[in-house]
């Protein structure tokens, strides 16, 4: 049936006799593209291979060839139809490139090379990025406005290391024993909204309201990215904006600059990890003491009594010699972030305080695809695939193809 379909498709695609548009076409720089000849292109479509006849033009000054029909059919510089590329991109976003071709053969009866999936995925990722950039411009200029808005918007930001090839970490300080970095930090943001509370007064995340953006890039560039995303999701109409993150200073710089006036919350799970590392450093293997001590801190933190947590850590200073540095660092952490840890207050306002959402976001968007064993990415390659995954996981994949079809 596919074969029959591809024969019919071929007939339809060639019913325009090659999209001939006259002897010459203008070039952007003022020259002419001259009609040369009709050229055949073998195209792999979802129905199977077809041959497409296209009018071919050439600009002698710019030394560039051009087929108007390729633009119309969205097959410029590729011998795969948009339908096949869509399948390859989706598979490439989820599976290591070396494995996806088997899935495609099994599910769609299309034979493609793993290398081709890789190439198509990277190219689509770059095009997704372009799509986001153009859309961001429209939102920033107010030419389009968000459709769905909710009273409370959460902006969660996190970072995670992506394993990269050696050249990408030259001259960079790392955490490894030899001091060389083996990863680059991908910054990830997710935006979701909340409208209601459950019977017990806990917040409920609006269904399918989560969208993701991310890239390996500077905090400054990422700041604009996450701001544009929030804007497109109804930032200006939201009554409350909440930024959730861990203790990383760049996150709070972004919160101050891009989301001024937002409620800032340290993810409670991260905050807990900090007194836990104190307990482990001081009490070692004494599990019972660790438990009683951390239980007290947990309760204090739940009540937003950060000063008491700080006091408790200070009281331990005299018990440890080698742990002093760590304890002082953690005291500093709680001091600096105490207003972001008034969890009783946040709870009373019916807010999420420890998302798990950001953490889950990083795991899903980055970890599951980019951090598998043996993987080493270039920054550009990683960013392409992150863009692709963010688009799909934010349910924007259809929008992206719509944009490609309609411009
Ligand atoms: Zn020209």
**pLDDT digit string (tens) for 302-314?**
999 999 999 999 9
Same domain, 285 and 366: no
Percent share of the chain, pLDDT over 90: 79
10: CB partners within 8 A, 6+ apart: 50, 51, 52
pLDDT, average across residues 207-220: 94
Is the per-residue pLDDT at 219 higher than 70? yes
- Alpha carbon of 28 to ligand 1 centroid (Å): 6
Same domain, 258 and 280: no
- Alpha carbon of 18 to ligand 1 centroid (Å): 22
Same domain, 157 and 227: yes
| The pLDDT of residue 362 | 74
Q: How far from 318 is each of 255, 287, 322, CA to CA, in Å?
A: 37, 20, 11
Same domain, 69 and 108: no
Same domain, 46 and 102: no
pLDDT in tens, 139-167: 999 999 988 889 999 999 999 999 999 88
Query: What is the chain's mean pLDDT, rounded?
Result: 92
- Alpha carbon of 72 to ligand 1 centroid (Å): 20
- Alpha carbon of 41 to ligand 1 centroid (Å): 24
Same domain, 164 and 107: no
d(CA 143, CA 135): 10
Confidence of residue 321 (pLDDT cuts 50, 70, 90): confident
SS3 breakdown of the chain: % helix, strand, coil, rounded to 5?
50, 20, 30
| The pLDDT of residue 232 | 95
Is the per-residue pLDDT at 110 higher than 60? yes
Same domain, 24 and 162: no
Confidence of residue 177 (pLDDT cuts 50, 70, 90): low
CATH number at residue 226: 3.30.420
Same domain, 173 and 226: yes
d(CA 21, CA 35): 8
230: domain range?
Answer: 152-267+354-376
- Alpha carbon of 23 to ligand 1 centroid (Å): 15
Cβ distance 62 to 29 under 8 Å? Answer: yes
Long-range Cβ pairs for the range 61-68 (8 Å, 24+) = 61/27, 61/29, 61/31, 62/27, 62/29, 62/31, 64/27, 64/33, 66/25, 66/33, 67/19, 67/39, 67/41, 68/19, 68/21, 68/25
Supply 276's token pair: 């836990």
- Alpha carbon of 62 to ligand 1 centroid (Å): 4
CA 19 to chain centre: 39
- Alpha carbon of 17 to ligand 1 centroid (Å): 25
- Alpha carbon of 31 to ligand 1 centroid (Å): 5
| The pLDDT of residue 407 | 65
Same domain, 260 and 363: yes
| Residue that wins the pLDDT comparison between 355 and 55 | 55
Confidence of residue 169 (pLDDT cuts 50, 70, 90): confident
Beta-bridged to residue 136, according to DSSP, are none
- Alpha carbon of 70 to ligand 1 centroid (Å): 18
Phi, psi angle pair for 29, to nearest 5°: -95, 10
In the chain, the number of structural domains is: 4
Same domain, 224 and 367: yes
Confidence of residue 77 (pLDDT cuts 50, 70, 90): very high
């Amino acid at each position: 049936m596919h074969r029959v379909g591809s024969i019919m498709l071929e007939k339809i695609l060639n019913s325009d006799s090659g999209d001939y548009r006259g002897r010459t076409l203008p070039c952007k720089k003022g020259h002419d593209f001259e009609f040369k000849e009709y050229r055949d292109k073998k195209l792999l479509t979802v129905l199977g291979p077809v041959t497409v006849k296209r009018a071919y033009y050439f600009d002698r000054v710019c030394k560039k060839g051009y087929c108007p029909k390729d633009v119309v059919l969205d097959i410029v510089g590729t011998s795969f139809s948009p339908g096949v590329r869509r399948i390859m991109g989706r598979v490439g976003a989820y599976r290591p490139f070396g494995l996806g071709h088997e899935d495609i053969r099994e599910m769609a009866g299309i034979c493609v090379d793993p290398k081709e999936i890789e190439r198509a995925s990277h190219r689509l990722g770059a095009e997704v990025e372009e799509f986001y950039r153009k859309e961001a411009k429209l939102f920033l200029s107010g030419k389009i406005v968000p459709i769905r808005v909710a009273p409370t918007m959460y902006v969660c930001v996190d970072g995670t290391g992506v394993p990269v090839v050696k050249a990408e970490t030259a001259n960079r300080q790392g955490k490894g024993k030899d001091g060389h970095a083996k990863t680059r930090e991908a910054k990830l943001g997710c935006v979701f909204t909340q409208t209601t509370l459950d019977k017990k007064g806990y917040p409920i995340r609006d269904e399918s309201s989560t969208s993701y953006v991310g890239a390996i890039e500077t905090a400054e560039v990422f700041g604009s990215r996450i701001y544009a995303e929030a804007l497109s999701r109804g930032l200006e109409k939201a009554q409350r904006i909440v930024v959730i993150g861990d203790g990383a200073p760049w996150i709070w710089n972004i919160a101050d600059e891009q989301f001024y006036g937002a409620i800032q919350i340290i993810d409670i799970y991260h905050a807990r990890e900090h007194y836990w590392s104190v307990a482990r450093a001081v009490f070692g293997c004494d599990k019972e003491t660790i438990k009683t001590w951390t239980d007290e801190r947990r309760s204090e933190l739940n009540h937003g009594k950060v000063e008491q947590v700080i006091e408790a850590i200070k009281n331990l200073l005299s018990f440890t010699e080698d742990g002093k540095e760590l304890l002082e660092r953690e005291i500093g952490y709680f001091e600096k972030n105490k207003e972001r840890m008034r969890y009783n207050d946040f709870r009373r306002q019916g807010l999420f305080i420890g998302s798990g959402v950001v953490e889950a976001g990083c795991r899903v968007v980055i970890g599951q695809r980019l951090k598998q064993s043996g993987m080493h990415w270039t920054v550009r390659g990683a960013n392409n695939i992150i863009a692709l995954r963010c688009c799909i996981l934010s349910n924007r994949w259809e929008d992206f193809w719509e944009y490609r079809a309609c411009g």
